[in-house]
Amino acid sequence: MKVEIDGLGLRYGETAALDGLTCTLDGGKIYGLLGRNGSGKTSLMSVLAAFRRQTFGQVRVAGEPVFENRRVTRRISLITHTGETTDIGTAEDALYFAEWLRPDWDGELARSLMDAFGLAPKAKVKEMSTGQRSAMGAVIGLAGRAPLTMFDECHLGMDVPSRKIFYDALLADYMDHPRTIVLSSHLIDEVAPLFEEVLILDRGRLLLQEETPALLGRGTTVTGPADRVAAFTAGLTVLDERRLGPTVAAVVYGPLDDARRREAAGAGLELAPVPLQDLFVHLTADPAGAPAAAPAGAPAAEPSGEPR
Amino acid sequence: MRFPSRLLVANMFFAVLLWLAALAVTAAIAAAVAVFGDLDQSAWEKVPQIARWYALFTGVALIREFLPMYIAHGQTRREFGGHALVTALLFAPFLGVLFALGYLIERGVYALAGLPPVLGRGHLYADTLQFPVVVAEHTLQFAVWLAAGTFLGAAYYRWAGGGVLACLPVAAGLVLLAESTVGGDLRLPFANRFGLGLDLAWPAAVLAGTGVATVLAGLALTWPIIRDVPLRTTRA
């Protein structure tokens, strides 16, 4: 499902959670929605799922506005850690209503996921541990098979094996039933392998939108003697620099073509890819009250790999 | 609009469980009174004093639990509003029937024990065997408490405690008016002590119409609050 967001704003009183955000998701992919706390991820997904109405701007899903539009909303699912879909009695009760309200519900998948997560159908959801409640949300979200499915930190409290079950189940079901999935998470290294495209929000605006391989290709760590690193990185966007004795490791942002790579090798410099999580940290670093990679107040721009 | 079968069935199922529990507790209390004192009144007659609070909390739960679930499952607020309305309008008579059945069971037990089926307060009915009138009175009673519950539940969901405080006088007024149309004794906290009961000497049709209008007003007042209510995305 194609998602078009144009100049989207959401205010909570005096606080702007979303501030003129513009982007387009072509759909049929797993998107990673990243951002620091308060960057607007939950607010964006809340508007996309018609949990709340935007203050200004437009959101269209499959070409139609979302809020109170049944044709669209019934094809959208947002699973949060707040438990809207699960805190309704027992696990069985939650499945009972999900089956009734979700047009694409797969009961067999739900049962197999319940077994995989070790969830008891008769257990009261509100009495479950945080991880079990999150697993319930994952079951509802995956078995709902909504053409636009969003998970907002829905792995909160899950232990490592449960998170692995979730990632594996999500990927397997996505392969069998391709749809648009948006994952918001702070466990970036864990979920990064799932992402086909990444959006990074910062202070209610789109900082970056890029396909994952291309984004990863833009970050490079240049390690070597300080003077040679300085010479090599002159004119490049340096996101971070660390020094250990005479050696410096600089994280540069932007593509390095073959000539530049040969130049680095010739200078005895080591080039290494930057993990998505590190790249995210550098791009959203806020040492002086302004985004590191974007001039303060810069307008949200077209989707591209350039940080804005 | 799809019929809200599962919403209704889920609430009815729970109500039947509570009804069975209420029968058991009432029987135990009546037996204790009969053994240790004089059981000279209907024990089941006292049940609505608690059952109406259950109706109120069912109304609150409709908004607090089921509205977010509906929205999160891709339904609109309008669809939920329709389902909640149908559920409220069918669930209240269901409670009324359950309550009237309780009277019939009690009547049988009292007859076997040779006890008098005396009512302790004023009602639209003079005898517990007047099944339709018993159902009508208590349907109206449960309906207005249910409506007040949805109204207060919506106020709480949207504006938290301040909303409840602001809307409480309206909800209490609705309950007071509807209860006054079906009986002479409110048995509400403070109501009798401060003479808050309304003594409505109106014709029966006017009283019934007023009661029904009060219920509908309570449900109608809920809609403007939930029609565009944002879902909470932080845990309360």
Give me the residue spans of the domains in chain A. 3-203, 214-283
Q: DSSP string of B9-51?
A: HHHHHHHHHHHHHHHHHHHHHHHHHHHHS---S-SGGGTHHHH
Give dist(CA B74, CA A69) in Å, integer: 9
Residue B89 lies in a domain: yes
pLDDT < 70 regions, chain A: 286-308
What is residue B140's predicted lDDT score, i.e. its pLDDT? Answer: 93
Is B17's Cβ below 8 Å from some Cβ in A?
no
Residue B232 lies in a domain: no
CATH homologous superfamily of domain A3-203? P-loop containing nucleotide triphosphate hydrolases (3.40.50.300)
β strands within chain A, DSSP E: 3-12, 15-25, 30-35, 56-61, 64-65, 76-79, 148-152, 180-184, 197-202, 205-211, 219-225, 237-244, 247-253, 270-273
What is residue A130's predicted lDDT score, i.e. its pLDDT? Answer: 94
How many distinct structural domains can be found in chain B? 1
What is residue A290's predicted lDDT score, i.e. its pLDDT? Answer: 42
Residue B36 lies in a domain: yes
Helices (H) and strands (E) in chain A, counts: 11, 14
Give dist(CA B113, CA A27) in Å, integer: 73
CB atoms within 10 A of CB A254: 17
Is B1's Cβ below 8 Å from some Cβ in A?
no
**Nearest residue of B to residue A143, measured between CA atoms:** B73
Nearest to B216 by CA among B140, B123, B125: B140
What is residue A104's predicted lDDT score, i.e. its pLDDT? Answer: 96
CB-count burial class (<10 Å; 0-12, 13-18, 19+) for A275: middle
**Nearest residue of B to residue A97, measured between CA atoms:** B6
Q: Which residue has the tokens 């290294």?
A: A189
Give dist(CA B204, CA A188) in Å, integer: 68
Q: DSSP string of A75-119?
A: TEEEE-TT-TTT-SSBHHHHHHHHHHH-TT--HHHHHHHHHHHT-
Closest to A52 (Cβ–Cβ): which among B6, B65, B231?
A: B231
- Shortest Cα distance, chain B CAs vs residue A157, angstroms: 14
- Shortest Cα distance, chain A CAs vs residue B215, angstroms: 26
Q: Are A279 and A240 in contact (CB under 8 A)?
A: no
pLDDT < 50 regions, chain B: 193-195, 236
Residue B72 and residue A102: Cβ atoms within 8 Å?
A: no
Q: Are B72 and A73 in contact (CB under 8 A)?
A: no
Q: Looking at beta carbons, which residues of chain B come within 8 Å of A53? A: 228, 230
Beta bridge partners, A200, equal A34, A208
Give dist(CA B23, CA A9) in Å, integer: 55
Residues 6+ positions from B179 with CB-CB distance below 8 Å: B141, B144, B186, B188, B197
Dihedral sign from CA coordinates of B51, B55, B60, B64: positive
Choosing among 3.40.50.920, 3.30.70.240, 3.30.450.20, 3.20.20.140, the CATH entry for A214-283 is: 3.30.70.240
B77: its two tokens: 């607020």
Question: What is the ipTM, given to two decimal places?
Answer: 0.87
Give dist(CA A233, CA A252) in Å, integer: 7
Contact pairs from chain A to chain B, CB under 8 Å = 81
- Shortest Cα distance, chain B CAs vs residue A151, angstroms: 12
A93: its two tokens: 């009760």
What is residue B181's predicted lDDT score, i.e. its pLDDT? Answer: 81
- Shortest Cα distance, chain B CAs vs residue A87, angstroms: 7
Residue numbers of the domain that contains B29: 5-226
Give dist(CA A296, CA A305) in Å, integer: 18
What is residue A303's predicted lDDT score, i.e. its pLDDT? Answer: 37
Is A257's Cβ below 8 Å from some Cβ in B?
no
Mutation target for B interface from A41, A51, A64, A67: give the one with most B CBs within 10 A: A51
Residues 6+ positions from A302 with CB-CB distance below 8 Å: A22
Dihedral sign from CA coordinates of A286, A287, A289, A292: negative
